[in-house]
Structure 1
């Protein structure tokens, strides 16, 4: 049978099913998690998916994240947790965990063909130094390592300046496995439980990812697509720092998606 296209509404249905199973596993094992990023914004502003969004993000304190990463697989048929996918044609690594629906395939901008299923992203929350200057240096260092990581799986670096080409060559020489190991070492340098400031260091928002640990200490259930999921109680602080006036709808030309296309296998 040839794969056939999955509509955005059906993607939302599949994403919600994955999220429900993740929620079930977390509650069974007393793991802390929270909806994150645009998914948390959707819960607060829309009580569900942002209408044009095509993914789900959650976040977990590192201890809970590591437990999930180690034990989730086998919990639910058709779902698989991973942070690396390898096919005969392409290898794609991630700096966070994903849970995919094995019955589906997905393409995303930057990845030339389907290599994994419709999935949700799970980001670890790690500790940070208390000093603001050190925090800035820390975020810069992690950001630089992330850029090396992404360069390491690009097929070429044509059309860039000499500085960029040298950086690309460094990434290729060092290799993805070493870069990944260094990122893991750096991001876990400060313990979540012993730090006053924490954040999703592999997230996309840089300094905006840094919050007082108090933001991640209390949790409550919020409505999302007629179901309830765990969210940080201080979601207002988190969303304001990430999005500013988060209850205001963005202009149509500013509404981001991941430009993904999904298929049934």
Structure 2
């Protein structure tokens, strides 16, 4: 068995533990990014991928984050809340020199008569402003970063006075490079179960629409399919 497969199998067990934990706590999660792509296209890992990506609604993640930390630290994992780069916020459960790892990305709601491109443009604008302001003020404390994130999202994206359809966006906590970082409620919910490496996990209701926004023609293998650095 090659080294990549050994690493994948360790991450399969980590994902199973995370899914079981979420189900016991009654909170939702779903496979996302390369892991969701793997579930749809391969029913498992993209052959050259090794880590695991999941997303959660921010209110759920915020509520159980202390329990995530205590549960997985007791199992020998390190739970990090903040990346080293200014303005980056995510939750990463990892060990063994960061090779075994699961990333949890926060997803947040908004309302308004906007399409996905319009919301995504607002998200990218808010991200740029967040990075600019945190860098200028040299903000590194997690609580301060959280406060600045909320300020930027409320200012640029989440106008509580707006009415309209419910949409979701990847929090500006982490600067995703994808053009489309927003999706409609009906594309995400209700979550459905899909196979990944022989087990069933929660996935978006319409994974095809979601993956198309992220990767375009996601069923076509990239030219450098043997390159482990390629995500899709």
Unaligned runs of 5+ in 1: 1-5, 86-90, 107-116, 153-170, 260-265
Q: TM-score, normalised by structure 2?
A: 0.78
Distance in 2 separating the partners of 1:56 and 1:7: 16
- Secondary structure of residue in 2 paired with 1:105: coil
Confirm or deny: 8 A CA contact 1:218 1:232 kept in the other structure: yes
Q: CA-atom RMSD, angstroms?
A: 3.1
Aligned to 1:128: 110
Cα deviation, residue 7, structure 1: 2.4
Instruction: Answer whether contact 1:203 1:209 (CA < 8 A) is retained.
Output: no
Return 5+ residue gaps in structure 2 as ranges.
Answer: none
Alignment deviations for residues 19-65 of structure 1 (CA, whole Å, 9 cap, x no partner): 11110111101111100001000011011110111221100112221
Question: Residue 57 of structure 1 corresponds to which residue in structure 2?
Answer: 53
Residue 216 (structure 1) shift? 2.0
Aligned equivalent of 1:224: 196
Give the distance between the partners of 1:119 and 1:245, measured in 2 at CA.
27
Greater Cα shift, 76-85 or 244-253: 76-85
User: How many residues align structurally?
Assistant: 215
Counterpart Cα distance in 2 of 1:36 and 1:203: 15
For 1:186, the equivalent position in structure 2 comes to 152
Counterpart position of 2:35: 39
Aligned to 1:196: 166
> Alpha carbons of 1:100 and 1:198: their partners in 2 closer, same or farther (altered >3 Å)?
same
Which residue number corresponds to residue 105 of structure 1?
A: 97
TM-score for both structures, normalised by structure 1:
0.70
C-alpha spacing 1:127/1:105, structure 2 compared with 1 (3 Å): same
- Which one has the largest radius of gyration? 1
Contact 2:48/2:226 (CA < 8 Å) preserved in 1?
no
Q: 1 or 2, which has the higher strand percentage?
A: 1
Query: For the residues of structure 1 that align with 2:226 and 2:5, how far apart are their CA atoms?
Result: 21
Q: Is the 1:215–1:233 Cα contact (8 Å) retained in structure 2?
A: yes
**Deviation of residue 205 (structure 1)?**
3.9
Is the aligned partner of 1:210 residue 2:182? yes
1:179-230 deviation line (CA, Å, top 9, x unaligned): 5531244347748xx9611121335145411111222221111111111111
Offset at 1:66?
1.3
